Amino acid sequence: MSLSARPGPFEMEPSRTAVIVVDMQNDFASEGGAFARGGRDVSLIRSVIAPTSRVLAAARAAGMAVVYLRSEWRPDLSDLGAPDAKFWGVMRRAGIGEPVTGPEGQASRIFIRDTWNTEIVQELTPEPSDVVVAKRRFSGFHATELDAILRGLGIRSLVFTGCTTSVCVESTLRDAMHYDYRCLLLEDCTAERIGHGLARSNHEASLLVIERVFGWVSDSSALLAALAAAAPGGGAAAAPQDPASVVRAFDAACNSRDLEAVMAFFADDAVVTQRPPPPDGGVYRGKDHVRRWFAPQLAGFHVDSQDHRTSGETVAWTATLSADVLRRSGISHPVEARAEAVVRAGKIVSFAVTNPSSTAAAEAQAAGARS
């Protein structure tokens, strides 16, 4: 299989290729993590979640391996290294080991294993078949089992996603090249905040040195197109089919504020229901009507998925919805809502959001009126 890349086409065999997801964990990509607590804007890193989610879904469907790298250390920091080493100082400035409170009130610690801080972001939650490798330096190959795992799987080519481009991603990719892996970096699935906004950013500098020396550079669209062309049936899109995977990819598209990516998940005759209903009735039938419902409010749309429960074609979960989504129902603050989707053949045919508190209030008001 060949896909368009720089400096020339990248040849890969899906069964011998792994997608590497570098450090897409709460400490780097979520509010409350190390980066955000240190005053760093995590929106740039979060912007790669949606394209990465699409790549992972297509890669799994094509039989490619998926390997997550996660920066994490022991609670006593005995694996951090020598106190007078540069790396120790870098991690200390990042707050490693500091106690924090997670988003649900749970005790956590910055960069410490088995805590909320080092979990992979919700939108990219690993599947049971995926591999997760803990790393304790910038490179995923340094003193880890990564090379042994990849060789055991028969992997020869690696597709890189994650953060940050110029530090952990590039460090891992350089070592992979030294181990004779063929490396492809997807430029829209990686992010780097250092130098962002300058005439030439560190992200762009990494892309240049990678395509000149260490590997190839492409983007998610090129990879998805190549996988689709190679799929049985010649051009059928390699997309998730099982309901839970579809919903996770849908959530990522919502959070990316990408209307076209969101609409791609809906069937042509899809129905969206909003409860309690706004003045227009709250039922939106057909893709065009659904698009009109999403379009004016997507900029404020946020779905923080939790507790997915799947029964056949139906997936139910708890979601945090922003105020903009529910303002037409008279709700002026973010709420936790119940969400439910029915998925058939990889498409959402029915999607409903319910705000329990406002529904209860409406029912109480109606009961009072009847009495």
Active-site option among 27, 135, 175, 254: 135
For residues 38 and 74, give the distance between their C-alpha atoms in angstroms, rounded to a whole number: 21
For residues 277 and 261, give the distance between their C-alpha atoms in angstroms, rounded to a whole number: 25
To the nearest 10°, report the CA torsion of 245, 249, 251, 257. -170
User: Token match 């490619």: residue?
Assistant: 64
Alpha carbon distances (Å) from 130 to 94, 183, 313: 28, 19, 23
Helices (H), 281-320: 287-294
Is 347 catalytic? The answer is no
User: Token match 């597709």: residue?
Assistant: 159
For residues 156 and 252, give the distance between their C-alpha atoms in angstroms, rounded to a whole number: 29
Is 135 catalytic? The answer is yes
Contacts (Cβ under 8 Å, ≥6 apart) of 191: 44, 45, 47, 48, 163, 164, 165, 203
User: Which residues sit opposite 20 in a β-bridge?
Assistant: 67, 160
In eight-state DSSP terms, residue 40 is -
Q: Are 349 and 271 in contact (CB under 8 A)?
A: yes
Q: Are 232 and 238 in contact (CB under 8 A)?
A: no
Tokens of 283: 């039922």
Burial category of 367 from C-beta neighbours within 10 Å (exposed 0-12, middle 13-18, buried 19 and up): exposed
User: Which residues sit opposite 186 in a β-bridge?
Assistant: 218
Residue type, 79: D
Q: Are 145 and 136 in contact (CB under 8 A)?
A: no
For residues 172 and 210, give the distance between their C-alpha atoms in angstroms, rounded to a whole number: 12
Active-site option among 27, 130, 163, 168: 168
Residue type, 141: F
Is 168 catalytic? The answer is yes
Catalytic center residues = 23, 135, 168
